[in-house]
Amino acid sequence: MLNFQITPSSGHAESCLDIQFTIKVDKADVLEVSIFNDSAKEQLDILSINKGVIQEEKTVIAKNTNSIEGFINLFNKDKMNTRLSDLIKVDLRCVAKIQVGEQIATEESSTVFYNESQSLDAHIIPFDFVLDNNVIDLKNNVPIGINVVCDAENKFELAIRSDDGQSLCTFDVVVHKGHNTIQLPSEIAWHDLQISKYYMKKFQFYWVKFEGVNHMKFMNRKYVPIPGSTISFNSTTMHPKSQTRLGPTGAELSKDFVLSHRYFVHTWK
């Protein structure tokens, strides 16, 4: 009897992930194994095995053994699993040709790899989010008012992004349980989103969700849109508040401090 298993049995799309497979039979003098992705209708390349040889990258042949372990990718030449994005699951099938003495038998076994990025809770925002105003008043230097309601103390990364993803403003918020009022200086959004250049674009708030890893083993950022959080700006120019040259102790700053082009406060040059 053929036993075909994979580890892990689920994962995220657009994530660097090798799949370990384990194949076991009752007994075999010669064991010939192939693995197929039935969802993509292709025979998979075998990346590595613990015993036997790999023929033409796709078939494993091992002698005098009843088990084989190795690694595959879900899709050929797609280590980041980008083709998994639109699929809920991937059907994998193992075909084993088993030779015992002069007798040769062929057996099949199937298993499923599930896409966690398509789970029912994948796009649920873990907090309530309300904006004070969807039109940002740059002319009067009014900050962006954000209200976050959360059921526990937490830290979230939020982002404002244009619909084409060309301009992006990210920031972290630390919230306590209950209602939280947050003000984002409009100067930061104006600078990071390049409003003077991308004034006509549409902008929206996103929750940054970390899932999966890239080739460097860093976690991927996935931008989940927050419903009802589209914003626009009433001007292409920024009118920052006037700044004094006094430091935190009240003493006048030296000429080594200049006005920051991003935050519009004096900083060490």
> Quick check: 266 pLDDT over 80?
no
Q: Report pLDDT for 262.
A: 64
Res 27 pLDDT > 70: yes
> By C-alpha distance, which of 88, 86, 94 is closest to 19?
94
Q: Please check the confidence at residue 238 and state whether its pLDDT lies above 90.
A: no
Q: Say if residue 123's pLDDT is above 90.
A: no
Structure-block tokens of residue 257:
């401090």
pLDDT (tens digit per residue) in 82-115: 999 999 999 999 999 999 999 999 999 999 999 9
pLDDT band at 163 (very low <50, low <70, confident <90, very high): confident
Token code pair at residue 171: 């920031």
Tens digit of each residue's pLDDT (9 = 90 or more) over 151-161: 999 999 999 99
- Write a three-state SS string for the chain: CCEEEEECCEECCCCCCCEEEEEECCCCCEEEEEEEECCCCEECCEEEECCCEEECCCEEEEECCCEEEEEECCCCCCCCCHHHCCCCEEEEEEEEEEEECCEEEEEEEEEEEEEHHHCCCCCCCCCEEEECCCEECCCCCCCEEEEEEECCCEEEEEEEEECCCCCEEEEEEEECCEEEEEEECHHHHHHHCCHHHHCCCCEEEEEEEEEEECCCCCEEEEEEEEEEEEEEECCCCCCCCCCCCECCCCCECCCCEEECCCCCCEEEC
Percent of the chain's residues with pLDDT above 90: 71
Domain ranges of the chain: 3-118, 128-233
Mean pLDDT of 32-55: 96
The pLDDT, as a whole number, for residue 252 is: 81
pLDDT reading at 3 higher than 90: yes
Same fold, 3-118 and 128-233: yes
Task: Tell me which CATH code domain 128-233 carries.
Answer: 2.60.40
Query: What would the pLDDT profile of 172-219 be if each residue is shown by its tens digit?
Result: 999 999 999 999 999 899 999 999 888 888 899 999 999 988 888 889
pLDDT score of 1: 86
Name the nearest CA neighbour of 94 among 8, 48, 31: 31
CATH superfamily, domain at 3-118: beta-sandwich domain of Sec23/24 (2.60.40.1670)
Query: pTM here?
Result: 0.77
